[in-house]
Every structure is written in structure tokens, then in C-alpha cells.
Amino acid sequence: MPSPTSGAIVLDSQAFELLSQLICARFGLLYTAETAYLIERRLQQRLEVNGIASFSDYYQLLTDPAQPLSRRDRELQEIFELLSTRETYFFRESYQLDAFREVLLPQLHHKRPRGQQLSVWSAGCASGEEPYSIAVEIIESGLFDGWNVRIIGSDLSNQALHAAVQGIYGPSSFRQTDPSRHNRYFRPLTGRWQIIESVRRMCTFVRLNLIEDDFSSVGGPFDAIFCRNVIIYFDRSERQRLIERLSNKLAPGGYLFLGHAESLLDGNTPLGIAHLGRELVYRKPS
Ligand SMILES: C[S@@+](CC[C@H](N)C(=O)[O-])C[C@H]1O[C@@H](n2cnc3c(N)ncnc32)[C@H](O)[C@@H]1O
């Protein structure tokens, strides 16, 4: 269990069990005894704001049916903002995006599975770098002028979605962006850079909890879903359930891109493994 910093409220093992189960059930995020210190450290400020002296009392606040549901939900949202990892940058894991542009997009253009319509979902899009990168890849394929191209970015973090809609970024978002793309797709804005309007218009952002919400608000079916660097933080059974639900949103023959460190090989999956150039991705049977 964590060792508290001086003056901090201690998260004892009983309160940790209760809180971690609640966090997992509501958001899918997995905490173990080794990572309990993250809950202890990051949620201190919520106890202070609410004038609460122990983590057990805080759990009571979150689950007490006498508290209005809106208050409990607001507090849970605060927890999510403090606990979720929203690290991202443009053209992350670019070898996958290269395979998307060089292999998958020409296939979709050629087969036109749903007429001149292309739909992509970035599930867990954080501050928008991933969906905007996907939009740039689609533009640079040069194949989809005149098509109805739809890119949806979804996340549960209000802070991330606000940044995504603004589309304004600092240097850390560009750690893997080559200068020619930087110049072509961004314009300087008060020391930072904003994504250009034509790329911004290709992307729509939706607030969605991947664990609790049904997926009707994102539409679909999708030719490709990117859910990268999201399930790595999830409990195993929530991972499995999410993959099944995502695969329901794929068009027949549609592709699922996971992060490099994420694999479905340890569980049952409705998806097969497919080669996209030299990349291994997951594919829904046609
Ligand atoms: C590390 S970021 C990955 C961003 C991007 N996909 C990438 O690969 O760069 C993970 C994102 O998943 C989101 N996320 C985590 N749990 C979620 C949930 N239950 N519902 C919706 N979004 C969630 C987080 O808010 C965060 O923005």
C-alpha cells in the first residue's frame, strides 16, 4: 500500500478495494496494490475540495443514494479527469498510419464497400492528435476527394475534448511530426499551432464512456476503428467486453488498430489477425 506524504490523507486497503472496484466498474481503469498510490496522490485534492477527512467517507459520498445523482456523476467525472492518462501526439506509432494510408485506404477506395463513404472512429482520442493525424493520412492518400469522409473522435475526458475541438497544440504534440507536414497542416497561433480548418472540418468529437455508454452516438458502421493506448489501462474482462462491442461497430471486413503494446492474443476475440503490409492488425470477418 502507498506511503503517504506528510499531511496527506492515507488510503487504507479497505478504502482502496472499494474505490478501485468503483473506478474499474465505471471507467474500466485497473488499479492494483502497486498502483494504489496513484489514487491516493491524485484524489487528495478532491477530499480537500469536498471537506472530507477519509477515503472511506469519500467513497460514501460517491455511492450514497441520498446524494443527488448529478452530484455523484460530477464527482466521478472529476476523478476521471485526475486519473486518466491522456498522453498523445501527432502521427504516433506512424508505421501503423503508414500501413493505413498505403495499404488499407487504396483497398477501401478500390472496393468501395459502402459506396463513396469512408468512416473512421478514433475511440479514446484524447486531445485530438490521433483523429487529425488520420485525417491528414486520408488527405495525403489523394484518393477520397468528393467522398463522404467521416472521422469521429470520442473520449470521456472533458478537458481532452475541449482541447480536441480547439485544435491548438504545443511542441510536445509534434515530437514525431515532420516539418513539411507541420507547415502544411498547422498555422501558428500565439506561440502554438492550430490545425487548419480543412482538416478540422473532417473530424467530429463526441463525449463517450467506452465502458458504460452504448455506442449509438458515434454512428457507424466503421471501415476502421483506432483504439490505441486505451485498453492497456483496462481490467482484462473490460478489455474483452470492449473489443466485442467495438467489433460490433465495424463494417464487415473492417479493421481494428490497437496500440503497439496491446494485443488480443490472450483472449477470445471475434476478430481475426490480418496483415496490412508489414503491420499486424485485427479484422472483422467479411
Ligand atoms: C493514452 S490516451 C491515448 C490517445 C490516443 N488514442 C493515442 O494513442 O495517442 C488514452 C485515452 O483514453 C481515454 N479513456 C480512458 N478510459 C476511457 C473510457 N472509459 N471511456 C472513454 N475514454 C477513455 C482517456 O481519457 C485518454 O484520453
Give me the CATH number covering residue 63. 1.10.155.10
What share of the chain in percent tops pLDDT 70?
A: 97
110-151 pLDDT, tens digit each:
999 889 999 999 999 999 999 999 999 999 999 999 999 999
* 267 and 216 share one domain: yes
* 71 and 101 share one domain: no
Q: Which of 83, 116, 138 is the last residue of a domain?
A: 83
Please work out whether the CB of residue 231 comes within 6 Å of at least one atom of ligand 1.
no
In a domain, 203, yes or no: yes
Number of folded domains that form the chain: 2
Please work out whether the CB of residue 79 comes within 6 Å of at least one atom of ligand 1.
no
What share of the chain in percent tops pLDDT 90?
A: 91
* 19 and 129 share one domain: no
Distance 227 CA to ligand 1 centre (A): 8
* 184 and 274 share one domain: yes
In a domain, 4, yes or no: no
* 186 and 50 share one domain: no
37-70 pLDDT, tens digit each:
999 999 999 999 999 999 999 999 999 999 999 9
| Greater model confidence, 262 or 79 | 79
Query: Average pLDDT, stretch 85-108?
Result: 97
Q: What is the pLDDT of residue 83?
A: 98
Q: What is the pLDDT of residue 114?
A: 85
pLDDT band at 268 (very low <50, low <70, confident <90, very high): confident
* 176 and 269 share one domain: yes
In a domain, 272, yes or no: yes
* 27 and 76 share one domain: yes
In a domain, 89, yes or no: no
* pTM for the full predicted model: 0.96
Say yes or no to pLDDT of 152 above 70.
yes
Q: Which of 52, 83, 114 is the last residue of a domain?
A: 83
Q: What is the pLDDT of residue 4?
A: 52
| Best residue among 26, 29, 81, 84 to mutate for probing ligand 1, ranked by most atoms within 8 Å of CB | 84
Q: What is the pLDDT of residue 76?
A: 98
Please work out whether the CB of residue 48 comes within 6 Å of at least one atom of ligand 1.
no
* 75 and 100 share one domain: no
Q: What is the pLDDT of residue 264?
A: 73
Say yes or no to pLDDT of 82 above 90.
yes
In a domain, 7, yes or no: no
How many Cα neighbours within 13 Å face the side chain of 216?
1
Say yes or no to pLDDT of 252 above 70.
yes
Domain coverage including residue 55: 13-83
* 125 and 227 share one domain: yes
Say yes or no to pLDDT of 201 above 80.
yes
Query: Average pLDDT, stretch 263-273?
Result: 80
* 177 and 243 share one domain: yes
Please work out whether the CB of residue 41 comes within 6 Å of at least one atom of ligand 1.
no
pLDDT band at 272 (very low <50, low <70, confident <90, very high): very high
Please work out whether the CB of residue 202 comes within 6 Å of at least one atom of ligand 1.
no
* 260 and 219 share one domain: yes
In a domain, 238, yes or no: yes
Residue 101 to residue 276: CA distance in whole angstroms: 10
| Nearest atom of ligand 1 to the alpha carbon of 212 | 19
In a domain, 131, yes or no: yes
Q: What is the pLDDT of residue 269?
A: 83
Query: Average pLDDT, stretch 214-232?
Result: 97
Please work out whether the CB of residue 27 comes within 6 Å of at least one atom of ligand 1.
yes
